[in-house]
Amino acid sequence: MSQSDHSDMRIGCPECEATVNASVPPGPGIDDESESNRLQGTEASCRNCGHELELYYY
């Protein structure tokens, strides 16, 4: 089996409360000494109702 660098997340859809499975790639994290703490984002869609979710991470 291959391993992925992505973190799998399960999030509740705000429209229909179904569980949405999303995958977020690793970010650099928050470093107090770095000036480049950039918020990154990705999208996921609910398979039940089609609602689009935006996920943000560092």
Q: Is residue 31 part of a domain?
A: yes
Range of the domain at 20: 7-57
pTM of this prediction?
Answer: 0.63
Q: What total number of domains does the chain contain?
A: 1
Token pair of 42 as six digits: 């990705």
What residue type is assigned to position 19 of the chain? T
Q: Is residue 42 part of a domain?
A: yes
pLDDT 10s digits, 5-53: 778 889 999 999 999 998 887 766 666 676 666 788 889 999 999 999 9
Q: Is residue 41 part of a domain?
A: yes
Q: Is residue 30 part of a domain?
A: yes
**Which of 36, 41, 13 lies closest to 25 in space, CA to CA?**
41
Q: Is residue 1 part of a domain?
A: no
